[in-house]
Chains A and B, each alone.
Chain A
Amino acid sequence: MAGKKKLNRMRRREARTGYAFISIWLVGLIFLFLRPLGMAFYYAFQEMSITPDGMIYEFVGFENFIYKFRDDIYFFDSTVWPGLSKFIIEVPICVIFSLFIAIVLNQKFKGRTFARALFFLPVIITSGIAIQVLRSYGLDTSMETENTYLFSSNGVADVLSNAGLPMGIVDIFTQISNRIFDIVWMSGIQIILYLSGLQGIPSSEYEAAQIEGATAWECFWKITWVRISPITLVVVVYSLIDSFTNVSNVMIKFIYEEYSLRGNLGGSSALGLSYCLVAFLIIILVYAVTAKHVFYVNEA
C-alpha cells in the first residue's frame, strides 16, 4: 500500500517535470498557434478591414466561402482542381522515383557521397522564391510564365505519337517527362528517408534469399518492398503535405494573393480553411488506405 502511494507520488512528480519541460511550448501553442487558428475560423465568416484603431468586423455568414465560386464560374477548373489534383500525378511518381534513386544510391560505387549530397541539394535551395523568380523568367529567352516547364520534351512526344502509340499514353509520358525537373527537385527528403530505410534492412535476409535461389526481382518485392513499407507511408504522407502546402501550388498562391494583392482577408481565410480541410481529408484517406498494407517487423 505504502509502495503504491510512493509510486503514485513519483508518477505525479514525473508528470509535473514533464509539463514543466513542455510548458513554454504549451503557452506558445495556445496563444500563438491555436488562437490564430481559431481566429482564422472566425475571420472566415466576417467581412473585415484593418484600421489604426484595431479591426472592424462584419458578419457575413458563408459569403466568403462561396463568393469566388459564384463570381468566377471557371474558378474551380482554373484554381481549385489544379491545386488539389497536383498530387494525383506527382506523389506516386515521386514515391517510385525516390525509391528507385535510393536503391541506386545505396549500392557501392565511387562518388556515392557526392551523388547523395547532390540529390539533397534541392532541399536547401528549394525555397520556392529563388526558383519562382527564375521560372518567371523561364530561364530561357521565352517569356511564358506559370506553365513554363524548365524542361520540355515536345520532341519526345512527337516521336512517340508518330510511332503509333495511343495519345493517352503519349500524354502520360509527356506529363511525366515535363515534370522531371519538378519531381527531382521535390524528392530530396524522400530519397534520404528511403536511403536510411534501406540501410536498416539486415543483409542476412538477402543472403538467405539468395541461397534459396530467389532472383533479384523476387528479392525486391518479398524483402525490400515489404521491409520498406513503413518508410513508404512516411514518404507518401510527406509528399502529400509538401504538394498541398508548397508555395508553388496554385491554390496556396491564390490564397496568399487574395489577401496581399486584393486585401480580402475574410475570403482568404475562408478559402484557405476549406482548402486545408479538404487536403487533410485526402491525406487521412490516403494514410488509412496505405497504413493497411504496411508491415512492421516488431509486430509480426
Chain B
Amino acid sequence: MENIIADRKVRAGSVKKLRIKKKKLYKVGQYVWAICRFLLIFGLGFVILYPLLQVISKVFMPTIQYQDLSVIWIPKSLTLDNIKNALEYLKFWPSLANTLILGLSCAAIQIIVCALTGYGFARFRFPLREPLFLLVILTIIVPTQIIFLPSFVQYRFFDFFGISRLLGMVTGKNYTEFAKNLIDTRWSFWIPSLFGVGLRSGIFIYLFRQCFRNIPKELEEAAKIDGCGSIKTFVRIMLPNAKSSILTVFLFSLVWHWNEYTLTRTFFPQNYQPLAVRLKLAVDGMVNDIATRTNLPFQMGVTYASVLLFILPVLMIYIFTQRWFVEGVESSGIKG
C-alpha cells in the first residue's frame, strides 16, 4: 500500500515536471517564433521599402558619388540639385495641378454615379439583374489596352448618341464636321466617369453594392413608411450610412487616377498632362536629348528625384488614410 502511494507520488511529480518542461518548451518556442516572425516581416518590409529607400538615398546624393564605390546608402554630402532639375523636367507644379484636378473631379463624379448604380443593384429586384451585374464584372476584367483604341477614336470624333450623325445627314456633310474632338480635354475622362464606366468604376460599383447590402433593410422601410421616395431614401438614409465606403472609393479613385498612365498618355497627347505622363516623358526626353544622353549619372539623379516627387503626395495621402484603404478591400472581399 505505502509502496503504491509512494509510486504515485513519484509519478505525479514527474508528470508535473514534464508539464513544466513542456510549458517551458512552449514558451521558448513562442519566443523563437516571435523572433522568426520579426525577421520575416522586417526582411519583407525591407523588400517593399527597398526602392523607396534607394530613391531617397540617391536623390540627395550628388551625382558624382553614384560611381563612388565607397558610397552605398549614406551620401557623403547632400544636394538639392536633383530635385531642382526634376522640378524643371517634370514641369512639376502645373503637372501636379493637372493631376489633382483630374483625380479629384473624377473621384467626385465616380462616387455619385457608382453609388447610384451600386444601390440599384443592391436593393431592387428587376429582370436581367444578374446578367447585368456580370457585365459590371466584365468592365472590371477587360484590360483597358483592349478598348482604349476604339475609345480614342470615339473621343477623337465624339458623336453624342448620334447627334452629329443626324446633323450630318440633315445638312448632307460628313458627320466629322460636327463631331467634337475631346482628345486633349478633360472630358475624355469626365464623360466615362459620368456614365459609370470610368477608370475602374466597376470595382467601385461592386464596393457600393456590397456596402448597401449590409445596411439593414428596416432603415429603408422605416423611411418609406415616413413617406420618403426612393431618391430621398437614398440621399437621406443610405448615403450617410455609407460614409466609410464613400471615403474608400474617393481615396482609391484619386490614387488610381494619379497612377494611371496608358489612358492619360493616350488622351492627353499635349495638354493637361498629369504627373505620370510627364514622368515618362521627362525620362525618355533625357535619354534622347544629345546634351544629356551620355550623362548617365545626371539622368539617374533626375529620374530618382522625379519618381520621388511623383509618389511623395500619394505616399502622404496613404500614411494618413491607410485604415480606409485596408477596410475598403476587406469589406469587398467577403462573399463575392
Contacting pair B153 A55 (CB below 8 A): yes
Cβ contacts A233-249/B at 8 Å (1 or 0 each) = 11000000100110100
Contacting pair B117 A35 (CB below 8 A): no
- Quick one: which of B50, B142, B197, B329 contacts A193, CB cutoff 8 A? B329
CA distance A37 to B146 in the complex (A): 8
Set of chain A residues within 8 Å of B300, measured between Cβ atoms? 137
Task: Choose, from B5-13, B16-24, B311-319, the stretch at the interface.
Answer: B311-319
Contacting pair B330 A22 (CB below 8 A): no
B51 lies within 8 A of chain A by Cβ? yes
CA distance A273 to B296 in the complex (A): 39
Which residues of A (182-199) have their CB < 8 Å from a CB of B? Answer: 184-185, 189, 192-193, 195-197
Residues of A in contact (CB 8 Å), total 92
| Contacts known (A252-B145, A256-B145); A18 close to B129, Cβ less than 8 A | yes
Contacting pair A18 B120 (CB below 8 A): yes
Which residues of A (1-51) have their CB < 8 Å from a CB of B? Answer: 11, 14-22, 24-29, 31-33, 35-37, 39-40, 43, 50
Set of chain B residues within 8 Å of A200, measured between Cβ atoms? 334
Residues of B in contact (CB 8 Å), total 95
Looking at chain A's contact residues, the main secondary structure is helix
Shortest CB distance A47–B (Å)? 14
B154 lies within 8 A of chain A by Cβ? yes
Smallest Cβ-Cβ distance to B116: which chain A residue: A21
Smallest Cβ-Cβ distance to B333: which chain A residue: A193
| Contacts known (A21-B124, A120-B322); A104 close to B48, Cβ less than 8 A | no
Set of chain B residues within 8 Å of A203, measured between Cβ atoms? none
Smallest Cβ-Cβ distance to A233: which chain B residue: B336
B239 lies within 8 A of chain A by Cβ? no
Cβ contacts B190-218/A at 8 Å (1 or 0 each) = 01101111000100010000000000000
- Quick one: which of B125, B179, B261 contacts A127, CB cutoff 8 A? B261
| Contacts known (A21-B116, A193-B333); A43 close to B145, Cβ less than 8 A | no
Set of chain A residues within 8 Å of B322, measured between Cβ atoms? 117, 120
**Can you list 5 residue pairs at the A/B interface with Cβ under 8 Å?**
A18-B129, A120-B329, A141-B66, A192-B329, A200-B334
